[in-house]
Amino acid sequence: MTKAKSKQPASTKQPISKSDANRSVKAKHVATKTKRPAASKASPATGASALPKKASGARTGSKRAQVMALLRSTNGCTIEAIVKATGWQPHSVRGFFAGVIRKKLKLDLDSELVDKVRRYRIKPAADGISKSAKAA
């Protein structure tokens, strides 16, 4: 048979380290905190939003606006021209074309090879209805 371990009362146990001793003393003196009820998130009574509404499209002077202006020119532009204008890396420009121009804005991006240089431009809508308007 095995001997039963004798249990010492909690008050006679010695703390393992000095920090444990300080923790137990501090824990006795800390008051319990009470939770305050959450503030209601009621909208203003007038129905107007407190924040101004976000304007659609790119802000004037932003890099996105600069790229869009370059792409809307009649001759279009090269990736190198956009790199110079924005300071982006060439792979970031191509990602912008795929992610923002084509997917998010749903614009048709035309690409053509002129004098061994690839030029990109946004195709103008032939019938006045853009691809994004058709999707909606």
- How many angstroms separate the CA atoms of 128 and 92, rounded? 30
The residue among 78 and 8 whose pLDDT is bigger is 78
Q: Percent of the chain scored above 90 by pLDDT?
A: 43
Dihedral angle, C-alpha 95, 98, 101, 105, nearest 10 ° = -120
Q: 111 falls in which pLDDT band (50, 70, 90)?
A: very high
Residue type, 71: L
CA angle, 106 as apex, 100 and 112 as ends, to 5°? Answer: 80
Residue pLDDT, tens place only, 74-100: 999 999 999 999 999 999 999 999 999
The per-residue pLDDT for 44 is 56
Residue pLDDT, tens place only, 11-70: 666 656 666 666 665 556 566 666 766 666 655 555 555 555 555 566 888 999 999 999
Neighbours of 79 (CB within 10 A): 19
Domains contained in the chain, CATH given: 63-135 (1.10.10)
The per-residue pLDDT for 46 is 56
The per-residue pLDDT for 61 is 87
Q: What is the 3-state secondary structure (H, E, C) of the chain?
A: CCCCCCCCCHHHCCCCCHHHHHHHHHHHHCCCCCCCCCCCCCCCCCCCCCCCCCCCCCCCCCHHHHHHHHHHCCCCECHHHHHHHHCCCHHHHHHHHHHHHHHHCCCCEEEEEECCEEEEEECCCCCCCCHHHHHC
